[in-house]
């Protein structure tokens, strides 16, 4: 199905694009390679306060993302997570965007809101090849926790994700082993205390200081070898699934291959409508550059607001871009599902 605007990246700027496009009656599809929307705000600093969102004196970064998601609720948009956009090709009146899962999306406009590039999970550095087990038995994020119900799950990592999922999966009956290279965690102290309590009551296994050494198995995981950093001894554990929560690397990703004019790692745009040197491809937010560019959320909001005007003209050639204040336009109130009687 053809969408009006295909947005690469569901960070704050990608999310706000849905709002501004929605006001003009345009439909967006957002694709992000992370397992949740919110980009840097949700991934890098969810609990940190932001003080420079206009009209919002204080919000944590996650609260900001939640507010943006609330703000776009009235609009019909599609959010595709856990997929990375790999390539784009020009088709009749628009673009075809292709992801790493070979899903194809036809669209009239592409908005690259890819921030600092794609975040990729850090994988363990092992001699064995375990790629055949990836996305079947080995995961770096969780799409559906029910997969792990009543299963043996080995979780590796020492941050919030490792701790949170240990607690969550134990709750749904998974037999969890949490393995970390030292007996100290980087995550929330409260969750760490819960994990230690679960271990004390034999509800989970906490194995420290261990690092993973080997994984055996082709269709299923047959055994996992772990190495004790204190005793220098190997031991074996069994699991149906492995979850690695070693954090994320920021990578520019495939943007380099999209034949767009770049300046360093950034995409060059004009400041009238933030279009790149290719018609119908726009770059908004941290990914773009122009004289005076600031990597701030509010700059990205401004950029995408102007970019959707041009996107509207491409979808509706010859039509005037409608302009209205959200305070007083009854048409906009209808789109926002707002009635004076409410």
Ligand X SMILES: Cc1cc2nc3c(=O)[nH]c(=O)nc-3n(C[C@H](O)[C@H](O)[C@H](O)COP(=O)(O)OP(=O)(O)OC[C@H]3O[C@@H](n4cnc5c(N)ncnc54)[C@H](O)[C@@H]3O)c2cc1C
Give me the residues that bind ligand X (CB under 6 A), please. 8-14, 31-34, 39-41, 44-45, 48, 50, 52, 84-85, 113-119, 253-254, 285-286, 295-298, 300
What is the rounded CA–CA span in Å between residue 175 and residue 211? 19
Region of 25 please: left (phi>0), alpha (psi -120 to 50) or beta. left
| Cβ proximity of 299 and 271 under 8 Å | no
Q: For strands 118-121 and 223-228, give the pairing.
A: unpaired
In the complex, what is the shortest distance from the CB of residue 196 to ligand X, in angstroms, rounded to a whole number? 29
Furthest-apart CA atoms within the chain: distance in Å: 74
Q: In terms of CB distance, is 85 or 169 closer to ligand X?
A: 85
Tokens representing 28? 């967006």
Nearest-10 crossing angle of helices 189-200, 160-171: 40
Contact 166, 155 (CB under 8 A): yes
Closest CB to ligand X among 84 and 199? 84
Cβ of residue 31: shortest distance to ligand X, in angstroms?
5
Q: Answer yes or no: are the C-beta atoms of 20 and 308 closer than 8 Å.
A: yes
Residue nearer to ligand X on the CB measure, 175 or 304: 304
Q: How far is the CB of 322 from ligand X (least distance, A)?
A: 25
CB contact burial 20-29 (16+ within 10 A = b; e otherwise): bbbbbebbbb
Q: How far is the CB of 241 from ligand X (least distance, A)?
A: 24
Min dist. Cβ of residue 81 to ligand X (A): 9
Provide, rounded to whole angstroms, the least separation between the CB of residue 248 and ligand X.
Answer: 8
Which letter does DSSP use for residue 102 in this model? -
- Least CB distance to ligand X at residue 105 (A): 12
Closer residue to ligand X, CB minimum distance, 11 or 157: 11
CA angle 85, 41, 247 (to 5 degrees): 70
Q: What token pair was written down for 333?
A: 């109130």
Q: Are strands 262-263 and 266-268 parallel, antiparallel or unpaired?
A: antiparallel
20 token code pair: 């501004």
State the residue for tokens 């790999």: 86
Shortest reach from residue 315's CB to ligand X, in Å = 22
């Amino acid at each position: 199905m053809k969408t009006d605007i295909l947005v690469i990246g569901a960070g704050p700027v990608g999310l706000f694009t849905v709002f501004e496009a929605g006001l003009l009656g345009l439909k967006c599809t957002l694709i992000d390679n992370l397992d949740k929307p919110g980009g840097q705000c949700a991934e890098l600093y969810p609990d940190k306060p932001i003080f420079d969102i206009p009209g919002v004196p204080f919000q944590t970064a996650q609260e900001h993302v939640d507010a943006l998601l609330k703000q776009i609720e009235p609009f019909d948009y599609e959010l595709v997570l856990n997929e990375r956009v790999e390539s784009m090709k020009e088709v009749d009146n628009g673009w075809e965007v292709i992801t790493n899962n070979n899903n194809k999306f036809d669209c009239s406009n592409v908005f690259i809101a890819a921030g600092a590039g794609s975040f990729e999970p850090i994988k363990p550095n092992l001699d064995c090849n375990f790629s055949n087990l990836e996305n079947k038995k080995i995961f770096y994020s969780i799409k559906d926790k029910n997969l792990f119900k009543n299963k043996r799950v080995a979780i590796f990592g020492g941050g919030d994700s490792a701790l949170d999922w240990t607690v969550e999966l134990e709750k749904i009956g998974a037999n969890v082993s949490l393995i970390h290279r030292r007996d100290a965690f980087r995550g929330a102290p409260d969750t760490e205390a819960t994990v230690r309590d679960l271990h004390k009551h034999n509800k989970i296994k906490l194995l420290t200081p261990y690092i993973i050494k080997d994984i055996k198995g082709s269709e299923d995981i047959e055994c996992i070898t772990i190495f004790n950093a204190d005793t220098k001894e190997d031991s074996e554990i069994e699991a149906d699934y492995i979850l690695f929560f070693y954090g994320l690397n920021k990578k520019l990703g495939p943007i380099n291959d999209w034949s767009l004019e770049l300046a360093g790692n950034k995409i060059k745009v004009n400041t009238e409508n933030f279009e790149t040197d290719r018609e119908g491809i726009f770059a908004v937010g941290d990914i773009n550059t122009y004289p005076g560019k600031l990597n701030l959320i509010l700059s990205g909001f401004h950029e995408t607001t102007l970019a959707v005007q041009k996107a509207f003209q491409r979808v509706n050639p010859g039509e005037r871009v409608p302009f209205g204040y959200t305070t007083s336009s009854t048409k906009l109130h209808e789109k926002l599902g707002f009635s004076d009687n409410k």
